[in-house]
């Protein structure tokens, strides 16, 4: 198992926690000097807050853990490709690297629809690694939405 696969496993643990509490199962972990300094999962429904994405919550925790807003030297592991909002936060927080699991063809802003996190037009570029444990990450999301549709079709909330 590679280092990236290992840390993506930690992000998957967070995603599974999100799933268990009824949130879209996306998890994120930020690593600094081989240590997980922040872990988070989606909390949009629970808080409720439109910006409570796993990546943003992890970035906030990492900033507090390091006592600075610049997250240089850090790598973000996230189970699904970040959206435009999260890609903007990746650039603004100066993360060195982003490793994600499955692509998001409807909202992905790192590779699928846009390439914000490493755009030469912006003042910071993160290194991107895509597709780490992608099948596991995608399967968790597919299962979540399949069960959600099944509940909806049966009239359950």
Which residues are identified as catalytic? Answer: 55
SS3 sequence of the chain:
CCHHHHHHHHHHHHHHHHHHCCCCCCEEEEEECCEEEEEEECCCCCCCCCCCCHHHHHHHHHHHHHCCCCCCCEEEEEEECCCHHHHHHHHHCCCCEEEEEECCCCCCCCCCCCCCCCCCCCCCCCEEECCCCHHHHHHHHHHHHHHHHHHHHCCCC
124 is in an annotated binding site: no
Q: Which residues are annotated as a binding site?
A: 53, 83, 86
Q: Which residues are annotated as a binding site for Zn(2+)?
A: 53, 83, 86
């Amino acid at each position: 198992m590679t280092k990236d696969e290992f840390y993506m496993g930690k992000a998957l643990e967070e995603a599974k926690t999100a799933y268990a509490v009824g949130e879209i199962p996306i998890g994120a972990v930020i690593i600094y000097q081989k240590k997980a300094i922040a872990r988070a999962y989606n909390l949009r429904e629970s808080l409720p807050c439109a910006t409570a994405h796993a990546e943003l919550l992890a970035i906030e925790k990492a900033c507090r853990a390091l006592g600075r807003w610049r997250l240089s030297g850090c790598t973000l592991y996230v189970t699904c490709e970040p959206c435009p909002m999260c890609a903007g936060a990746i650039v603004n927080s100066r993360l060195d690297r982003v490793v994600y699991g499955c692509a998001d063809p409807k909202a992905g802003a790192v590779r699928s629809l846009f390439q914000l996190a490493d755009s030469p037009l912006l003042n910071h570029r993160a290194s991107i690694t895509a597709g780490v444990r992608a099948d596991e990450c995608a399967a968790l999301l597919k299962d979540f939405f399949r069960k959600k549709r099944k509940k909806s079709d049966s009239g359950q909330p």
